[in-house]
């Protein structure tokens, strides 16, 4: 069971915590995965993908050509 997002493929990253004496201790920073049912199938999705899914679709506005009239 991998801790990766099924939509974007993001996984864990490495980080370091530093003590007062600057000793580096590596740690694993997991992403925030949630189980979500999408179209009847169960996926493990990161929360940033969940926010993207919930966004309304943007409709592009038609460009209006501006013409200059000379006198």
The model carries a pTM of 0.63
Q: Residue ranges per domain, the chain?
A: 29-54
Rounded distance between C-alpha atoms, residue 34 and residue 57, angstroms: 23
Q: Per residue in 9-62, pLDDT tens?
A: 999 999 999 999 999 999 999 999 999 998 899 999 999 998 988 888 888 888
Is residue 71 very low, low, confident or very high in pLDDT (cuts 50, 70, 90)? low
pLDDT score of 1 = 60
Which neighbouring-strand residues pair with 37? Answer: 42
Q: Are 46 and 10 in contact (CB under 8 A)?
A: yes
């Amino acid at each position: 069971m991998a801790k990766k997002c099924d939509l974007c493929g993001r996984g864990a990253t490495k980080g370091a915590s530093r003590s007062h004496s600057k000793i580096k201790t590596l740690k694993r920073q997991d992403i925030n995965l949630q189980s979500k049912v999408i179209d009847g199938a169960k996926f493990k999705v990161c929360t940033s993908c969940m926010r993207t899914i919930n966004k309304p679709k943007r409709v592009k506005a038609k460009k209006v050509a501006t013409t200059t009239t000379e006198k």
